[in-house]
Amino acid sequence: MNNQNQVKLPEVRQDVIDDIEQPGNSAWDDIGKVAANTQYSTDYKLKQVRELKAYVDSETPQRVAEHTAKLTAEVAKLQAVARLPIAPPLEQVPQLEYTRAALAVRWQNMTAPDRYQEWQTAIEAKDTIAARVYRDFLPTVFRQRPDGSPLPVDRQYETLTAQTDDLLSTDDQRKARAALPIVEETLRRLPFHAERQKARFEGMQITQDGKLIDGRSARSWQALRDSF
Average confidence (pLDDT) over 185-200:
90
pTM: 0.75
Q: In 10 A of CB 51, how many CB atoms?
A: 12
User: What's the CA gap between 79 and 48, in Å, rounded?
Assistant: 46
Cα R_g (the chain), whole angstroms: 28
Least confident of 88-92, 121-125, 155-159: 155-159
* Maximum pairwise Cα distance, the chain: 89
Q: Could you report the per-residue pLDDT of 6-52, keeping only the tens digit for each?
A: 667 789 999 999 999 999 999 989 988 888 888 888 888 888 888 98
Question: Tell me, what's the pLDDT at 1?
Answer: 46
User: What's the CA gap between 110 and 91, in Å, rounded?
Assistant: 29
Instruction: Provide DSSP, 82-95.
Output: HPPPSSPPGGGHHH
First-residue to last-residue Cα distance in the chain: 25
Q: Could you report the per-residue pLDDT of 58-113, keeping only the tens digit for each?
A: 999 999 999 999 999 999 999 999 999 989 999 999 999 999 999 988 888 888 88
Cβ neighbours of residue 187 under 8 Å, at least 6 residues apart? 67, 68, 71, 72, 75
Q: Could you report the per-residue pLDDT of 159-184, keeping only the tens digit for each?
A: 999 999 999 999 999 999 999 999 99
Question: Tell me, what's the pLDDT at 222?
Answer: 47
